[in-house]
Amino acid sequence: MLIQFDGGSVRSWSPGDAPSLARHANDRAIWRNLKDRFQNPYTLSDAEGFIAHCLSENPESAFAIAVGDEAVGAIGFEHRGDIWRRSVELGYWLAQPYWGRGITTGAVRAVTDWAFRTWSINRVWAGVFAWNPASARVLEKAGFTCEGRLRQSAVKDGELVDELIYAIVRS
């Protein structure tokens, strides 16, 4: 998969992305805004394992955010099935040197459009820790609506934190 947008692209992972992924993902500021299953520190072995997992998925649902040829972030979907079979959860991160350039917003728009065209889904949603207003702005600029605040719903970095739930539905 390859989708280009202003400032970058979203593409399938390749094994050669592992060193770049490990370098950019090994950042506490990124880990702090993701689920605990995201490793910190993040090693080359973690990157290789993640990429191997992504390449084994069918359908493909996790992608590299790239600037030029370099993977500088990740974006993808989690399918829950059951009663949520028409919804997918979106997750993403971008390396700090690329923050504030509109790259993440472009990537979110691109993969959301791709997901609606590719899968039989009606809703894409994302959770954002309340301490991360930049990520909330990304979703708002990409057309997502804040549906609510889940008070003290998560524990991250030893703190109880509210989670903001954003979604976009097929129009």
In this predicted structure, the answer to whether residue 143 has a pLDDT above a threshold of 90 is yes
pLDDT 10s digits, 59-78:
999 999 999 999 999 999 99
pLDDT at 100: 96
In this predicted structure, the answer to whether residue 171 has a pLDDT above a threshold of 90 is no
| Domains annotated on the chain, with CATH | 2-122 (3.40.630.30)
Model's pTM, two decimal places?
Answer: 0.96
Q: Which string of DSSP letters, residue by residue, matches 120-165?
A: S-SEEEEEEETT-HHHHHHHHHTT-EEEEEEEEEEEETTEEEEEEE
In this predicted structure, the answer to whether residue 5 has a pLDDT above a threshold of 90 is yes
pLDDT at 10: 98
